[in-house]
Structure 1
Amino acid sequence: MRNPFRRTSDAELAATRYSGRESATEKAARKRLADHRSKGIARATREGEAWEERDRKRFR
């Protein structure tokens, strides 16, 4: 029988109860990276379209 008053360490809980689950730190890092990538793609798209528009105006 499990002793309900026994203190378990964080490491023990991580190894047993929460094994296979994404940690809050990993989740935050994944979200931060995804946000960073999506903002970079959007910025590059805007810059590319602005360059294209300037190029068109130059040759009109």
Structure 2
Amino acid sequence: MVVVALRNEIRKNKLRDKLKRRMLRATYVLSVEISKIHKLLKKIVLIRNIFMRASNLSGRYTP
């Protein structure tokens, strides 16, 4: 995943400890946000699939 690579890159670099900690915390927040977006997208796809099935059952296909 992108976030993991980013974290490894930050750890490798010779930065001041305070800055390094702040950047690692930022990548953690980023990964949390990415997972939230991913869950939301999965829900949207699920809802869309339900509507697709319902429209197929009624005999008309609406993409």
Which TM-score applies when normalising by structure 1? 0.58
Gaps of 5+ in 1: 1-15
Which ranges in structure 2 are unaligned for 5 or more consecutive residues?
1-14
Aligned residue pairs total 44
Instruction: Find the counterpart in structure 2 of residue 54 from structure 1.
Output: 54
The CA RMSD over aligned residues, in Å, is 2.2
Higher relative contact order (Cα pairs below 8 Å, separated by 6+ residues): 2
CA distance in 1, matches of 2:33, 2:50: 26
Aligned residue number for residue 16 of structure 2 = 17
Tell me the distance in 2 between the aligned counterparts of 1:18 and 1:55.
Answer: 57
- 1:6-56 CA distances to partner (integer Å, 9 max, x unpaired)? xxxxxxxxxx623764232x1221011000110111110111011000010
Corresponding residue for 2:29? 29
Name the counterpart of 1:41: 41
More helix by share: 2
Identity across aligned pairs (percent)? 7
